[in-house]
Structures are given as structure tokens and as C-alpha cells.
């Protein structure tokens, strides 16, 4: 009577190699030369001498497959929870190291479409270590061969004993000895057609897998070693499932970089030099690009126009609106900058006619450096901060609505008279909102930061702006991703 076929189990991929602890038993039980009544190699059980039933062997093998698939599922779940390219690459390295039994590794990101970004991320390797590896000729490194488009196969490129290789590059030998690794295993990170990510369209058009290459990952062993067939297979499955997510993160990173570049290009490339006053600025853009801006432009009669503002919304439309608003304000400032109220009135009319669904806050000042005087008009904007040796105080400005909120904007101007060596700090509300505090506490925090500027730093507006930014937003909040843009414009009178 024919033996029954093993039942199919849903979710089990029979192409996954058997776990290491069942491979030998499977081979022994199917060998044509084995005696008919010889015990299987897997007959080492808790009850010696008891033959292993066929069902137990199958159950053991299925348990191994389920364990492998569960591991892959858990690692993939951890990866897809990452929301930045840097975190995704680090998670890829950690998961790959666990699968192939390594302790260290690196990912060289080098998209084949040439659009960048290009970077190297290490696991268990300091920046200096990565620098040493970069001194090795590219063709001598496993991941360098992958990046150069040389074929390595789906199972990756293993170099089980680097120091035993006769043709090992001398510089590679030196670096490997210095960093203490003796073997490596590398895999290509390639987007396949049909992944649905933006970068794979080029793959479909060109018909070349290399066009969809994101980079290469390599794991380093402290001793001569290489992953077995099962480890290679699992690592390959994991990287193939990880690449679509990494591709999406790459597209997000490119979009963020493009938005940040666009926003920066719409702002002054350099601040003007005007006798009697020195300027410094800080600008931080959110990941989607925002509408916060600043400006400083020379005006007739040795005057200076100063402006900060914020357009509602984020993303490309807000950045474009910010650019249009800033360009218009520059034109109005040249024509009637000595009257800041007129400048903002014209800007408000333009905003209502061209951007009816958008509002904006703005602060414009007509600065006369020779008199150390600024005439200010604000539209829904936070008051400037005056920083000096004997005083640190907010400038009293009239309460007014943002531009575009009323049928006709109007507010009186105020004059700020500064003493020699004092600094007037203009800023946007994003600086306050990034703190996460209430408005009162955020204003108090900003005041305390300005009052705490070291005496030596008060002579330099750049140092003042940097101190205030790092004090109000400590622990990396100034550089962390946030939906809020930040603008600081420091004006120091000589």
C-alpha cells in the first residue's frame, strides 16, 4: 500500500531549506544505500532505542520552518516600523547580523540611478572604522564589487577566510587586521520590478536589475566563518522583503531633501553687510518643507529692511507661497520701506487677491543703523526680543491679526531704540512651538535663554543666535524632524 502523502500546511513554504537540526535526518532517511531496517540519524530521542516515527520527523521539520518564518515575520515587522532611512538601514544591519551570525557590518547606500543620497552606515563600527574601510580599493571589497555591478549571485558573496586568500589586497589585509575581522558575507540590495516603489520604474524601463540597485550590505566575522545554506537563504529572503520598504524610505528622504533645498534657495543666500549693524540667521525646515522665512535687504539712504514671517500649511504649496510672499515684500520694501505699515498693508492685499485660502504672519522692520533704530510693524507675529548688557525684554508691539484674516489689515508701528552692543532678535512661532510648552512657558524659556547668553558671546550675533537656539531647543530638538519650521534673525548694533 502506498504511503500517504504529507498533508499540506497553509503558510509553509516548502522551498525554505530544512533547519540544520533536521537536514541530516532527512538525508539519512532518504538515502538509497541505507539498510532497510537501519535507524535514522535523528533517532536520538529522550528514549534511546525507540525508532523515530515518520510523523515525528515531519513535525520536527515543520516546526523548524514555522520557527524560521516567525523569525522573518518579526524582523520584517520591526523594519517596517522604521520611518527614516537611517533607522531602516540600521535595522537591516541588526536583523542581517542575527540571521548570518555576525557581530558587525555596514551598508553602502549608492542608488544606481545616480540621484543619491550616497552614504555608509555601520553596525558596531565607529566613524573612524568606516573611514579606514573606505581607504581600501573599491574592487577589493565585497560590497564594492556589488556596487560596481559585478555578478555575485542571489546567495551573496562569502569570503570565509580573508587572510587565507592569496590575492588579498595589501591595504585590505592591513585594514582587516586593524579592525579585527577575518571573514565577510555580502548581499546586494536590489529593487525588483513590480515592487511598487518609485525607483523600480527605471528597472521596468531599462530591463536591468542593476538599475534598481540601492546598494550593498556586508557583515563581518571576527573569526574565519561563513553562513550555512539555511542562513544564506533566510538572509536573502529578509533582504528581498526589506528592499521595497527601504526604497520607499529613500524616496521620502529624497523628497525631504528636495523640499529643504527648495526652501533654502528661496531664502537669502547671504546676509548684506551694512555699516553699523551685523546680522546672523538660523533656519530649520520641517521634513515636508514649511512656510517660515526671513529676509534682510539693503534700502536707500543706508537703511536696511528686516523681515520674518510664516505662511500657513506645509509641503510644496506652502514653500511656493512663501517664495511669492517674500519676493513681493522685497518689492514693497524698496518702494515704501520707510513705512512698515504700508508695506504690510500692500502684502495683505496681495495675499487676499492671490492666496484667498491662505493666511500668514509677518514682521517687517525699517532699520536705520546710524541711529540704532528700527521701526516695526507686525501682523499676528510674535514680538521681537531686545538683548543687552542691562536689559533683556520683549518689544511692545500692537496686537494685530495675521494677514488674510480680516477684510482690511491695519496696525500701528512701533519704534525700537537700541543701545550700542545690543541685539534685536526676530524669530518665528515655530521656535516656540517646537518646545512643546504652552505659550507662556515657551516665551519664558526664550527670555531666559536670551538673558543667559554669555558676556563674550554677546559681541557676535551668530553666537547669540546659536546660543538661543540650542538653549531653547536642547537635546537635539533643533535638528530633529519636526513639523515646525524655525527662523532666527539676530541684528546687533555696533
Task: Note the pLDDT of residue 396.
Answer: 85
**Is residue 455, in this structure, part of any structural domain at all?**
yes
- Position 16 scores a pLDDT of 41
Mean pLDDT for 56-65 is 80
Residue 42's pLDDT is 39
Q: Which of 12-26, 128-142, 221-235, 284-298 has the lowest mean pLDDT?
A: 12-26
99 and 179 part of one domain = yes
pLDDT tens digits, 328-385? 999 999 999 999 999 999 999 898 888 888 899 999 999 999 999 999 999 989 999 9
**Taking each helix axis from N to C terminus, what angle separates 229-265 and 85-100, rounded to the nearest 10 degrees?**
170
- Predicted local confidence at residue 384, as pLDDT: 95
| Same-domain check for residues 107 and 172 | yes
The pLDDT of residue 27: 37
- Total count of residues recorded for the chain: 494
Q: What is the pLDDT of residues 222-232, one digit of tens each?
A: 999 999 999 99
pLDDT, position 51:
52
pLDDT tens string 407-452 = 677 778 999 999 999 999 999 999 999 999 999 999 999 999 999 9
pLDDT value for 52: 56
Where among 241, 259, 277 does a domain terminate? 259
Distances (CA, A) of 136 to 22, 130, 171, 281: 41, 10, 6, 41
Q: Are 289 and 319 in contact (CB under 8 A)?
A: yes
pLDDT of residue 407: 66
What pLDDT score was predicted for residue 252?
86
- Nearest CA among 214, 189, 216 for reference residue 199: 214
Give the orientation angle of helix 54-80 with respect to helix 20-30, to 10 degrees: 150
- Does 21 reside within a domain? no
Task: State residue 8's pLDDT score.
Answer: 37
Residue 75 located in a structural domain: yes
Q: Is the domain of 146 the same as that of 274?
A: no
Q: What mean pLDDT is reported for the chain?
A: 83
Looking at residue 116, what is its pLDDT? 85
Residue 39 forms part of a structural domain: no
Indicate whether 32 pLDDT > 80: no
- The domain in which residue 294 lies consists of 266-493
**Which carries the bigger pLDDT value, residue 28 or residue 50?**
50
Residue-level pLDDT at 437: 93
Claim to verify: residue 84 and residue 188 sit in the same structural domain = yes
Q: What is the mean pLDDT of residues 13-35?
A: 39
What pTM did the predictor assign? 0.61
Residue where one domain finishes, among candidates 224, 259, 294: 259
Q: Is residue 43 part of a domain?
A: no
- Indicate the number of domains in the chain: 2
The Cα–Cα gap between 360 and 376 comes to: 17
Q: Are 355 and 410 within one domain?
A: yes
Domain shared by 372 and 402, yes or no: yes
Per-residue model confidence (pLDDT) at position 67: 86
- Decide if pLDDT at 264 tops 80: no
Q: What is the pLDDT of residue 53?
A: 67
9 three-state secondary structure:
coil
- Tens of pLDDT, residue by residue over 303-337, are 999 999 999 887 778 888 888 899 999 999 999 99
Give the separation between CA 466 and CA 145, rounded to whole angstroms: 44
Question: What pLDDT does 376 receive?
Answer: 94
Decide: helix, strand or coil at residue 394. Answer: strand
Query: In CATH, what number is assigned to the domain containing residue 86?
Result: 3.30.450.40
Residue 431 exposure: Cα atoms within 13 Å on the Cβ side: 29
Q: In sequence order, which residues have a C-beta less than 8 Å from that of residue 130 and are 6 or more positions away? A: 106, 120, 122
What is the predicted pLDDT for the residue at 298? 94
Residue 288 has pLDDT above 50, yes or no: yes
Domain with 284 in it: what CATH number? 3.60.40.10
- What is the pLDDT at residue 14? 39
Q: Same structural domain for residues 135 and 204?
A: yes
pLDDT value at residue 5: 41
Q: What is the pLDDT of residue 44?
A: 36
Same structural domain, 293 and 441: yes
Establish if 91 belongs to a structural domain: yes
* pLDDT tens digit sequence for 155-198: 889 999 999 999 999 999 999 999 999 999 999 999 875 554 44
**Domain check: are 240 and 314 in the same one?**
no
- What are the pLDDT digits (tens) for 103-128? 999 999 999 888 888 999 999 999 99
Between the CA of residue 167 and those of 162, 164, 218, 222, 223, what are the distances in Å?
10, 9, 20, 20, 19
Which of 199, 225, 259 is the last residue before a domain boundary? 259
The verdict on 211 and 98 lying in the same domain is yes
Mean pLDDT, rounded, for 262-276: 84
Mean pLDDT on 142-151: 87
Choice between 93 and 477, residue whose per-residue pLDDT is larger:
93
Q: How confident is the model at residue 295 (pLDDT cuts 50, 70, 90)?
A: very high
Total H helices, total E strands in the chain: 13, 15
Amino acid at each position: 500500500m502506498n504511503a500517504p502523502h504529507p498533508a499540506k500546511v497553509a503558510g509553509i513554504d516548502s522551498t525554505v531549506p530544512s533547519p540544520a537540526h533536521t537536514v541530516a535526518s532527512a538525508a539519512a532517511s532518504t538515502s538509497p544505500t541505507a539498510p532497510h531496517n537501519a535507524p535514522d540519524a535523528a533517532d536520538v530521542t529522550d528514549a534511546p532505542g525507540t525508532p523515530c516515527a515518520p510523523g515525528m520527523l515531519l513535525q520536527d521539520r515543520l516546526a523548524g520552518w514555522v520557527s524560521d518564518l516567525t523569525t522573518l515575520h518579526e524582523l520584517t515587522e520591526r523594519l517596517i516600523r522604521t520611518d527614516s532611512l537611517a533607522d531602516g538601514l540600521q535595522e537591516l544591519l541588526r536583523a542581517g547580523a542575527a540571521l548570518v551570525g555576525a557581530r558587525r557590518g555596514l551598508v553602502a547606500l549608492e542608488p544606481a540611478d545616480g540621484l543619491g543620497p550616497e552614504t555608509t552606515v555601520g553596525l558596531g563600527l565607529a566613524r573612524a572604522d568606516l573611514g579606514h574601510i573606505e581607504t581600501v580599493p573599491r574592487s577589493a571589497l565585497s560590497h564594492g564589487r556589488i556596487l560596481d555591478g559585478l555578478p555575485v549571485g542571489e546567495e551573496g558573496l562569502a569570503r570565509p577566510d580573508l587572510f587565507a586568500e592569496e590575492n588579498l589586497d595589501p591595504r585590505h589585509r592591513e585594514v582587516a587586521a586593524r579592525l579585527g575581522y577575518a571573514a565577510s558575507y555580502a548581499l546586494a540590495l536590489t529593487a525588483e520590478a513590480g515592487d511598487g516603489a518609485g525607483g523600480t520604474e527605471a528597472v521596468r524601463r531599462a530591463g536591468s536589475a542593476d538599475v534598481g540597485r540601492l546598494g550593498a550590505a556586508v557583515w563581518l566575522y571576527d573569526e574565519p566563518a561563513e553562513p550555512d545554506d539555511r542562513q544564506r537563504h533566510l538572509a536573502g529572503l529578509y533582504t528581498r522583503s526589506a528592499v521595497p520598504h527601504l526604497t520607499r524610505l529613500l524616496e521620502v528622504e529624497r523628497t525631504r531633501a528636495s523640499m529643504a533645498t527648495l526652501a533654502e534657495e528661496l531664502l537669502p543666500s547671504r546676509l548684506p553687510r551694512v555699516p553699523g549693524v551685523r546680522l546672523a540667521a538660523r533656519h530649520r525646515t520641517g521634513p515636508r518643507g514649511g512656510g517660515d522665512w526671513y529676509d534682510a535687504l539693503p534700502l536707500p539712504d543706508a537703511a536696511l529692511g528686516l523681515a520674518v514671517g510664516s505662511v500657513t500649511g506645509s509641503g510644496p504649496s506652502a514653500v511656493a507661497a512663501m517664495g511669492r510672499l517674500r519676493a513681493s515684500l522685497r518689492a514693497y520694501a524698496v518702494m515704501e520701506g520707510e513705512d512698515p505699515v504700508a508695506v504690510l498693508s500692500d502684502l495683505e492685499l496681495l495675499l487676499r487677491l492671490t492666496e484667498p485660502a491662505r493666511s500668514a504672519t509677518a514682521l517687517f522692520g525699517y532699520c536705520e543703523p546710524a541711529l540704532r533704530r528700527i521701526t516695526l510693524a507686525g501682523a499676528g507675529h510674535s514680538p521681537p526680543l531686545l538683548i543687552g548688557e542691562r536689559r533683556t525684554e520683549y518689544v511692545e508691539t500692537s496686537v494685530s491679526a495675521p494677514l488674510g484674516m480680516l477684510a482690511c489689515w491695519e496696525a500701528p508701528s512701533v519704534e525700537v531704540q537700541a543701545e550700542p552692543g545690543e541685539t534685536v532678535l526676530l524669530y518665528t512661532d515655530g521656535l516656540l512651538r517646537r518646545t512643546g510648552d504652552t505659550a507662556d512657558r515657551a516665551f519664558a524659556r526664550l527670555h531666559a535663554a536670551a538673558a543667559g547668553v554669555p558676556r563674550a558671546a554677546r559681541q557676535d550675533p551668530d553666537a547669540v543666535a546659536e546660543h538661543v537656539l540650542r538653549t531653547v531647543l536642547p537635546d537635539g530638538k533643533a535638528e530633529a524632524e519636526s513639523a515646525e519650521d524655525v527662523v532666527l534673525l539676530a541684528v546687533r548694533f555696533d
